[in-house]
Amino acid sequence: MLMKIEIIPADRFTIQELTELYNQTRVDYLVPMPMNADRLAEYVHDFDVDLKQSCIARDMNGQVLGLSMLGIRGDIAWITRLGVLPSTRRTGAGSELMDRMLENADLLGLTETHLEVIENNEPAYKLFQKKGFVETETYLVMRHAPRPLSESLQGHVTWLDFDSALEKLETYPEHITWINAFESMKNSPNTEGLYLELPNGDSGWLVYRNTKFTLRSTLSHLIIHTEKGDSQVVGTQLLSHLHTHFPNHDTYAENIHENDPHLTAFNTLGYFTNFARIEMRRKKK
Amino acid sequence: MAKILYIEDIQDNITFVERIIKSRGHEFLYAQNAEQGLELAITSKPDLILLDLGLPDADGQTLSVWLRGNPSISSTPIIVLTAWPEEVARQTVNAYNLNGYLCKPFSLPSLVKMIDSVLEENAHED
């Protein structure tokens, strides 16, 4: 049943309050991804989320119903973390949040808005379609657990620090989704990389994040590029060098394009798909 | 009687599982994030760990790597309780060298059966 809803800026709330609300909206989600306040703060920073333009929905009694966040880079907006409490879904809160976010993006003169929706999340997909979003690409989210490597290492590797890794990433010729984009990697001090030259002259690079938790580190946000040669061979060697160098790290490869030429390399190294994300875009009307 | 550690962020799930475990005469411990879970696992050395994959600081897959990488608890059986689809849960258990999984919402008898089975298997290995 539709209810009267008020939309207010998210910057009126603390990160802790936003975290608690976000977790409550995701409690029954297809892919449960709870966060703590530190992670949400990092998310806001790394992905250029503007909390002034991000929104909270609440009813006329002040009861909070849901939230949505807006990232802004140049002329492009990115909608993320949209969620409504399970008990208040189908009240129009999600639709109102989307309308306000798109209105904010339009008023700021942004030319296009992007978002990603998890495959099979039909209610969200239909809502985005209704708001004018069109499906563009499909991306995979994959995992890799530490395991003995069967591939023999070849070639010469140069490990890249933050600046060198970004230099490589800046040359990447394909579209990258928001979370792996140059700006996202630049915003994280954990960005590193490696450059590989094979004996036959083929070459490529891999940029990733090496996130230090209190106790252990994890690898994530992998972007692979073959400069010269066979993508499967170069990709397999890049990943083999990475996992030989970090044999005990859990690895999370997000938003690898479903037709990425290095997919076979990921599979060879034992990566498996957790779920798929569909990227959707809407141009300013 | 076994000592069972449940690592899960949602209080309702903790309360549900606690009731089941205590009614079977086991000792019940819990942690609501990955780092507390790892610390409690190291200090309390449970006989079995029940692990939710969606945790607020580091997810369950990452935590399982930390648990398996710590020599004092590396062989402790781990059962995954997850809202992920069954195929993903199965692949996760295989890739991360875990001992079993139950997909939420799971039934009370299936949880009891899984716990009994893993504890029995581990007792034979000891």
* Residue-range domains of chain B with CATH: 3-120 (3.40.50.2300)
* pLDDT for the residue numbered B52: 94
Q: Is the pLDDT score of A160 beyond 70?
A: yes
> ipTM strictly over 0.90?
no
pLDDT averaged over chain A? 94
Q: Out of B53, B95, B97, name the one closest to residue A270 (CB).
A: B95
* pLDDT for the residue numbered B83: 84
pTM of the model: 0.93
* pLDDT for the residue numbered B60: 92
Distances (CA, A) of A124 to A42, A151, A278, B80: 25, 41, 11, 28
List alpha helices for B1-126, DSSP H: 11-23, 34-44, 60-69, 86-95, 108-125
Distance of CA B62 to the CA centre of its chain: 14
* Residues of chain B under the 70 pLDDT cut: 125-126
Closest residue in B to A220 (Cα) is: B62
Closest residue in A to B87 (Cα) is: A274
- What are the structural domains, with CATH classification, of chain A? 5-110 (3.40.630.30), 142-279 (3.40.630)
List alpha helices for A72-152, DSSP H: 93-107, 122-130
Nearest Cα of chain A lies from the Cα of B1 at a distance, in angstroms, of 31
Question: Does residue A270 belong to the interface with chain B, where contact is any CB pair within 8 Å?
Answer: yes
In 3-state terms, what secondary structure has residue A117? strand
CA A64 to CA A261: how far, in whole Å?
44
CA B48 to CA B39: how far, in whole Å?
15
Residue A113 phi, psi dihedral angles, 5° rounding: -120, 135
Question: Does residue B123 belong to the interface with chain A, where contact is any CB pair within 8 Å?
Answer: no
Which H helix or E strand runs over B28? Answer: strand B27-31
Q: Tell me the angle at which helices B108-125 and B11-23 cross, rounded to the nearest 10 degrees.
A: 60
CA A144 to CA B72: how far, in whole Å?
24
Q: Of chain A residues 15-54, which have a CB less than 8 A from chain B?
A: 19, 23, 27-36, 38-39
Which of the four pLDDT bands, split at 50, 70 and 90, describes residue A215?
A: low
Distance of CA A177 to the CA centre of its chain: 7
Q: What share of chain A is helix, strand, coil (3-state, %, to 5)?
A: 30, 35, 35
* pLDDT for the residue numbered A262: 98
CA A187 to CA A182: how far, in whole Å?
9
CA B44 to CA B7: how far, in whole Å?
13
Q: Out of B9, B62, B66, name the one closest to residue A34 (CB).
A: B9
Judging contacts by C-beta atoms under 8 Å, the chain A residues touching residue B88 are 274-275
**Tokens of residue A12, six digits:** 């009126």
Q: Is the pLDDT score of A216 beyond 80?
A: no
Q: Do B95 and A147 touch (CB under 8 A)?
A: yes
CA A181 to CA A192: how far, in whole Å?
14
Q: Do A275 and B92 touch (CB under 8 A)?
A: no
Nearest Cα of chain B lies from the Cα of A210 at a distance, in angstroms, of 13
- Per-residue pLDDT, averaged over A17-39, amounts to 89
Closest residue in A to B98 (Cα) is: A145
- Per-residue pLDDT, averaged over A88-95, amounts to 88
Judge contact between B82 and B101, C-beta under 8 A: yes
